[in-house]
Amino acid sequence: MNIEQTLVNGVVEAIKTLYGANFNAEKIQLQKTRKEFEGDYTVVVFPFLALSKKRPEETAQEIGDFIKQQLPEVSAFNVVKGFLNLSIAPAYWVGLLESIDKTDKWGTVPVTEASPLVMVEYSSPNTNKPLHLGHIRNNLLGYALSNIIAANGNRVVKTNIVNDRGIHICKSMLAWQKWGNGETPASSGKKGDHLIGDYYVAFDKHYKAELNELIAGGMSKEEAEAASPLMAEAREMLVKWEQGDKEVRALWEKMNNWVYEGFDKTYKRLGVDFDKIYYESDTYLVGKETVLGALEKGIFYRRDDNSVWANLTADGLDEKLLLRSDGTSVYMTQDIGTAQLRFRDYPIDKMVYVVGNEQNYHFQVLSLLLDKLGFSWGKGLVHFSYGMGELPEGKMKSREGTVVDADDLMDEMINTARETSEELGGKLNDLSTEEKAEINRIIGLGALKYFMLKVDARKNMLFNPKESIDFNGNTGPFIQYTYARTRSIERKAAEAGVDITKATPETISEKECAIIRMLNDFPAVVREAGKDYSPSGIANYAYELVKEYNQFYHDFSILREENEAAKAFRVLLTRNVGKVVKTAMNLLGIEVPERM
């Protein structure tokens, strides 16, 4: 039983003994004592006054006296008006630290075969361009969420849906046919996704030039767009693709495979992965079949122009197009098809979609449609809606080639980490070139990931590479550096023969108690992050923990402490700070180096 539950039970017993009444434990307000007051936990006494029929201060005093006599965990108390502040005995915190040390995966809940199955969808790239800054935020959020959900005792399946069909794909294919001269990733030395992205940009440049020429000849913009031979060719290619034309399909497969090889390299470098990848080229036909089946059952209806719609007005929404008059599907139909395939593959209990906030309405509609189609998790699906990521220079546009490429950004972060490490002085001088490069990779990517994840995901964010790599403040490198410090102390303690089994000091400082309290909070932080789908909660907890530890490190001797029991205790405390920091950062998908 944790200390909070022990205190709540003590208050319940006090009310029963003192006032002869049963009080619902769930209604007891127990909170952490504010920093300006003495104590660890505060009980709000006002709800008990109807039972005690006494003043708030007198009631608090009586309950405090009772608890102090009955609970050895409570060493002292004080009363401030209607608030009872309880101080926990140092011996309790020492015992708790030993318990945390013996718990292998402190803060996380084990997963069993009976655990609920949660599917998390993230990434969702298009095969006409490489991954960019927006994809980085999406992937990092999706991967961190998957880890946090798993840490709360759920089985997790990480999935990706690849947009591998449509007019945008045909634009890249047509541009490569016209201007590629047989160029391949091997012949150009480019990653496949970058190569295809170049042709997507090339299409847009030629298309704009064509429009300008037509407009200069007297057409309006709308007339020029309708008359564009280049766009007409792209549409013709899409029709051939949908009809299964062998040549178009062969080119499509070849170019998509180049892209997938490029994506895989980026994903691996970013440190994210998937258990199952779905492709829209497979799911859109399933969606069409599902919609037509529901049409026969009267769930959807057909209009005079042959299009198929869902009427959601009774649910407070509007009518939603599902199949166009020519029978082709829309994005919603594809999402229904993907859901159908996923439900066949896995017994899903909950589905989490990691998609930007511009799609909020889409997922409101999808939730209702899946519920009407009989998916048990439809109404309870979670749209993890997040804000956009931008750089100081402003927004990005793929077709204009102004996107911040994911690979380039990772390169920049690693280079910045190397330059920053060199500026700080030669702490890594005795390492090999390979070891230095690995540490700089961990620091650079850690800075990128932490900066992305510490912000409330619902907000738009401005990503500043230089600010993110600062070794001070609320940054990834600051947390990584503190972890490396804990590991250094552990190594030196082992060399000096410090025996942590003798970590039984007669007394400990308030600062040491505060750190153990924070370690004790970690399971609740993980639970809260899982409940709220909030990676930022884990990130900011890690920062607050290392900030508290660094203050302790500067104020107290550890290895130079003369009292052996106190020294062993502080090494044990250091070890568990490192353990919890590593667990927290790993939940975010961030590596921590053994030295920096």
In a domain, 124, yes or no: no
- pLDDT at site 391: 67
53 with 180, same domain? Answer: no
Number of helices (H), then strands (E), in the chain: 21, 14
The answer, yes or no, to whether residue 394 has pLDDT greater than 60, is no
29 with 170, same domain? Answer: no
CATH of the domain at 567: 1.10.730.10
- pLDDT at site 120: 98
Number of domains in the chain: 3
Confidence of residue 329 (pLDDT cuts 50, 70, 90): confident
43 with 183, same domain? Answer: no
The answer, yes or no, to whether residue 469 has pLDDT greater than 90, is no
568 with 463, same domain? Answer: yes
566 with 433, same domain? Answer: yes
Summarised one tens digit per residue, pLDDT across range 49-65 is 999 999 999 999 999 99
In a domain, 289, yes or no: no
Alpha helices in 271-381 (DSSP H): 280-296, 331-345, 360-372
55 with 183, same domain? Answer: no
199 with 69, same domain? Answer: no
Calculate mean pLDDT across residues 376-400. Answer: 73
The answer, yes or no, to whether residue 10 has pLDDT greater than 80, is yes
- pLDDT at site 291: 95
In a domain, 264, yes or no: yes
Residues in Cβ contact with 491 at an 8 Å cutoff, skipping those fewer than 6 apart: none
Mean pLDDT in the chain? Answer: 93
Calculate mean pLDDT across residues 509-518. Answer: 93
Confidence of residue 2 (pLDDT cuts 50, 70, 90): confident
- pLDDT at site 392: 66
In a domain, 351, yes or no: no
The answer, yes or no, to whether residue 498 has pLDDT greater than 70, is yes
CB 350 within 8 A of CB 118: yes
AA letter at 375? F
> How far from 462 is each of 137, 307, 389, CA to CA, in Å?
11, 42, 6
The answer, yes or no, to whether residue 254 has pLDDT greater than 80, is yes
Question: How many other C-beta atoms are found inside a 10 Å radius of the C-beta of residue 316?
Answer: 8
State whether residue 350 is helix, strand or coil: strand
In a domain, 121, yes or no: no
What is the rounded distance in angstroms from the CA atom of residue 58 to the CA atom of residue 588?
47
- pLDDT at site 425: 64
Question: How many other C-beta atoms are found inside a 10 Å radius of the C-beta of residue 32?
Answer: 12
In a domain, 528, yes or no: yes
Considering Cα of 363, then 369, then 371, then 373, what sign does the dihedral take? negative
450 with 572, same domain? Answer: yes
Where among 54, 88, 122 does a domain terminate?
A: 88
423 with 521, same domain? Answer: yes
Does pTM surpass 0.85?
A: yes
Calculate mean pLDDT across residues 353-380. Answer: 94
In a domain, 543, yes or no: yes
The answer, yes or no, to whether residue 166 has pLDDT greater than 60, is yes
The answer, yes or no, to whether residue 41 has pLDDT greater than 90, is yes
- pLDDT at site 401: 45
List the single range of 94-103, 257-266, 412-421, 492-501 with lowest mean pLDDT: 412-421
What is the domain extent for residue 7?
A: 3-88
Question: How many other C-beta atoms are found inside a 10 Å radius of the C-beta of residue 507?
Answer: 9
Nearest to 239 by CA among 167, 133, 295: 167
Calculate mean pLDDT across residues 504-524. Answer: 92
What is the rounded distance in angstroms from the CA atom of residue 524 to the CA atom of residue 30?
14
CB 580 within 8 A of CB 573: no
For the chain, the residue count is 596
The answer, yes or no, to whether residue 464 has pLDDT greater than 60, is yes
Residues above pLDDT 90, as percent of the chain: 84
The answer, yes or no, to whether residue 424 has pLDDT greater than 90, is no
Q: Is 268 exposed, middle or buried (0-12, 13-18, 19+ CB in 10 A)?
A: exposed
The answer, yes or no, to whether residue 565 has pLDDT greater than 90, is yes
The answer, yes or no, to whether residue 155 has pLDDT greater than 50, is yes
Where among 249, 273, 297 does a domain terminate?
A: 273
- pLDDT at site 402: 52
In a domain, 119, yes or no: no
- pLDDT at site 398: 40
User: Which tokens is 217 given?
Assistant: 């000849």
What is the rounded distance in angstroms from the CA atom of residue 596 to the CA atom of residue 593?
7
- pLDDT at site 426: 62
Where among 88, 106, 138 does a domain terminate?
A: 88
The answer, yes or no, to whether residue 465 has pLDDT greater than 80, is no
Question: How many other C-beta atoms are found inside a 10 Å radius of the C-beta of residue 377?
Answer: 19
